[in-house]
Amino acid sequence: MNRILFIVMVAVLGFAPDIAAGKPTRAQRIVAELHKPKSRTVLVAAHRGDWRNWPENSIPAMESAIDMGVDIIELDLALTKDSVLVVCHDRRLDRTTTGKGFVSDVPYDSIQTMRLRAGHGVRTEIGMPTLREALLVCKDRVVVNIDKGYEYYDMALALCEELGVTGQILIKGTALPDAVTAKFAEHSRNMLYMPIVNLSKKDGLPLYNAYKAGGEVPMAYELCWSVRTPDVDAVMAEMLASGAKLWVNSLWPSLNGGLCDDAAAVEGVEEIYGKIIADGATIIQTDRPTLLLDYLRRTGHHE
């Protein structure tokens, strides 16, 4: 058994007793679906939660996305001056909060006095959540994808273990497979891991080739590309043939070579999302989760 697949299986073992008892939580059912490479069910990842209706990466944005039926909540981490993990995409506070400066320069008690801004920059009365608060909201209900946060792996894992949510956490990164294996070997249990392969960047193809050369088969790859080339087609086909699932972003065209675009989907949902599914994607990260879920349910790709 290759090393990355073994790591993934160890993470899932934490779910085994409940599943064996016939009482899986919703999060456990989603994780089980993640391990079915031949399934044509399409899982929906809400990018920073339901940020069109609530501030991005906020608790209400997560609650709203869970209520609408998404499978995965994507969030981002930052570390305060006094080492508290908070949920924030930017390294600076200026865009998303009423504060200013770098998160890393501000203690958590000061973060608590700041208010989050809505997507159009207007102040709300909502505060920035800690990772602990976010995980407690998502526990047993949905898979949590930590995007920007692999650098805080040890801290995040310790918190996940404390809260009993490790098996439902999917963390992404661009580390080489040997580095991931070495990091995961430091712990008896680990989160799920997914490599990000961006073929528009110079290290994208070498990263994929390192997985292929080592016989590593991740549970899934996140694949990004800016221009559709024969190399993109070949890598996509190889990923699917290897037994990995394919995560594609419909957020904006530069992440998928113009294949699809959430904004354009408002005018032509069948054409936009149909393309991405036809290419084999069974995990789609979106900025319009309601629109995508409606389409998938209507076409039989989601419960």
Confidence bin at 21 (pLDDT 50/70/90): low
How much is the pTM? Answer: 0.92
Answer yes or no: are the C-beta atoms of 254 and 292 closer than 8 Å. no
pLDDT over 60 at 27, yes or no:
yes
125-166 residue pLDDT tens:
999 999 999 999 999 999 999 999 999 999 999 999 999 999
pLDDT over 90 at 103, yes or no:
yes
Check residue 120 and give its pLDDT. 85
42-73 residue pLDDT tens:
999 999 999 999 999 999 999 999 999 999 99
Check residue 44 and give its pLDDT. 98
235-294 residue pLDDT tens:
999 999 999 999 999 987 788 877 766 677 666 677 778 888 999 999 999 999 999 999
Answer yes or no: are the C-beta atoms of 110 and 103 closer than 8 Å. no
**Phi then psi dihedrals of residue 157, to 5 deg:** -65, -40
Share of the chain above pLDDT 90, in %: 80
Check residue 220 and give its pLDDT. 97
Please provide the DSSP assignment of the chain as one string.
Answer: --HHHHHHHHHHGGGHHHHHTT---HHHHHHHHHT-TT--PPEEEEETSSTTTS-TT-HHHHHHHHHHT-SEEEE-EEE-TTS-EEE-SSSBSTTTBS--SBGGGS-HHHHTT--BB-TTS-B-SPPPPBHHHHHHHHTTTSEEEE-TTGGGHHHHHHHHHHHT-GGGEEEEE---HHHHHHHHTTSSS--EEEEEEETTSTTHHHHHHHHHHTT---SEEEEEBSS--HHHHHHHHHHHHHT-EEEEE-S-GGGBTTS--HHHHTT-HHHHHHHHHHTT--EEEES-HHHHHHHHHHTTS--
